[in-house]
Amino acid sequence: MIKKVILFIALALMFTACEREQTITPSGKTIEIGVLAPLSGEDKRLGHQSILGLQAAKKLQKYLNNGDEVVFKILDTKTEIKSTKKALNTLASENVKSIFSFMSSKEMTTLAREFYHTKIPIITTLATDNHIARESTYISQVCIDNNTQTLVAAHYIKDEKFIQNVGVIYNKNNHYSSVLAEEFQKYFSKLGGEIDFFIDISTPLGFKKFQEQNKKKTKMLFNTTNAKMTAKILKILESKKLSFDILGTDGLLSGALELPRDDLKLFDGVYVIEHYAHNTKRDDTREKLEELLAKDGFSESSYAFLAYDGYQLLLHALNSCPDYNKECIKHTLQNSSTIKGILSNFTIIDAKAKREVYVDKIKNAKLQKEVVIY
């Protein structure tokens, strides 16, 4: 009897182990997918970390259900509209079945018409503009949009932190930063909150104006600037021995990971709106992904994690459209069933992501969960 039980357990373990392994037989066929990424220029951090996430995701799941292999045609957009147009035309001429975009909202909104004319389904993982999917009906957003970030930021400050007075700092020269700051200003005021100051810190005059602010009333800063500019703000606060609570926006830590170590340390204690949190449950896939990303120092990169989620959405669409018909792929990308992301499940409804949103606190270069909004 004991021998039978042992044999049963052994067989069960063998069966479970086989289930975990990918048993798909390669067909020898490939499906080419385009990738538009800023690998040089101002936004190169977006492209670099996203590509690492995409390549790591493929290592974990190389084949479609029918054995076909996804291969990537990666082109550098150079953070320039002209270069992006050229790269897009190249991908359109090569008849790729879909395109990943790791570009910001500025490029995506500017080129919305061109994206529409190519008739190629596009997955954007980083462009948060509210109207991208409406301006080009071939785009699907994996990330949360500006409206979601605005709602989460305003209600977190007012209803969770019970703060009435905030200051807003932004970069006028950055589309994402300025648009998000303006949306927050309007919504927070509607909730009855008070904006003590609204400062563009893209110039020396703006920095000087910020340094002159009085902290007596203002309890928190809503900051939409990038990591490099935020580091300057944190140095000012440190030198003046001020202790503003700061709430930043998605991707702030990802950008900070590319700063010098001493600058990265400054971000301890900063709150951020994010798609992920470090101190949450891990499965084998997430541990493997983080291990792959850690080799390049980006195991906490939300850009890389979003690329992973985008890859899962792509696999779902390709597996759902056996002939790889672009209209079928487009429809599936924009109205998906539940997709298992790296941290939690998400769906795409009318080209927009429905997913968990976190307010995290940065500690030792990791995203520590404070609040999760479903």
CA atoms within 13 A on the CB side of 218: 21
Count Cβ neighbours within 10 Å for each residue of 324-345 and write b for 16 or more, e otherwise.
Answer: eebebbbebbbebeebebbbbe
Claim to verify: residue 237 and residue 168 sit in the same structural domain: yes
11 lies in some domain? no
* Angle subtended by helix axes 227-239 and 204-211, to nearest 10: 40
Residues 6+ apart with CB under 8 A from 10: none
CA distance 141 to 144: 7
Q: Which residues are CB-contacts of 169 (< 8 A; sequence separation ≥ 6)?
A: 181, 199, 201, 210, 221, 222, 223, 224, 225, 233
179 and 318 both lie in a single domain: no
Same domain, yes or no, for 317 and 221?
Answer: no
Burial of 71 (0-12, 13-18, 19+ CB in 10 A): exposed
Contact 132, 112 (CB under 8 A): yes
| Domain contains 12 | no
Together in a domain, 363 and 222: yes
Q: Which amino acid is at 15?
A: F
On whether residue 18 sits in a domain, the answer given is no
With H, G, I as helix, E, B as strand and everything else as coil, classify residue 85: helix
Residue 233, in any domain of the structure: yes
Q: Are residues 197 and 340 in the same domain?
A: no
Residues 256 and 200 grouped into a single domain: yes
138 and 203 both lie in a single domain: no
pLDDT along the chain (374 residues), means of 10: 42 40 83 97 93 96 95 96 95 94 91 90 94 82 94 95 95 93 96 94 91 80 95 88 87 93 94 94 91 91 96 97 93 94 93 94 95 84
Q: Is residue 159 domain-shared with residue 194, that is, in the same domain?
A: yes
| 140, 55: one domain | yes
For the chain, the C-alpha Rg in angstroms (whole number) is 22
Q: Is residue 310 in some structural domain? A: yes
- Taking CA atoms, 94 is separated from 103, 121, 136, 318, in Å, by 21, 14, 21, 18
In the chain, count of helices (H) and strands (E)?
15, 15
Pairing of β 245-248 and β 271-274: parallel
CA distances from 121 to 66, 89, 213, 309 (A): 21, 14, 47, 16
Is the Cβ–Cβ distance between 285 and 60 less than 8 Å?
yes
| Same domain assignment for residues 45 and 137 | yes
pLDDT at 95: 87
The total domain count for the chain is: 2
Same-domain status, 96 and 232: no
Q: Is the pTM of this model over 0.95?
A: no
* DSSP code per residue over 25-67: PP-S-EEEEEEEE--SSTTHHHHHHHHHHHHHHHHH--B-TTS
Look at strands 69-76 and 99-101 and give their pairing. unpaired
Q: Is residue 41 part of a domain?
A: yes
Sign of CA dihedral 129, 131, 137, 140: positive
Q: What is the pLDDT of residue 239?
A: 82
Query: In this structure, are 153 and 252 located in the same domain?
Result: yes
| Complete edge-to-edge strand list for the sheet that includes strand 122-124 | 69-76, 30-37, 99-101, 122-124, 139-141
How far apart CA 108 and CA 101 sit, in angstroms, is: 8
Q: Which domain holds residue 42?
A: 30-144+281-355
Q: What CATH code is carried by the domain that includes residue 290? A: 3.40.50.2300
Does residue 9 form part of some domain? no
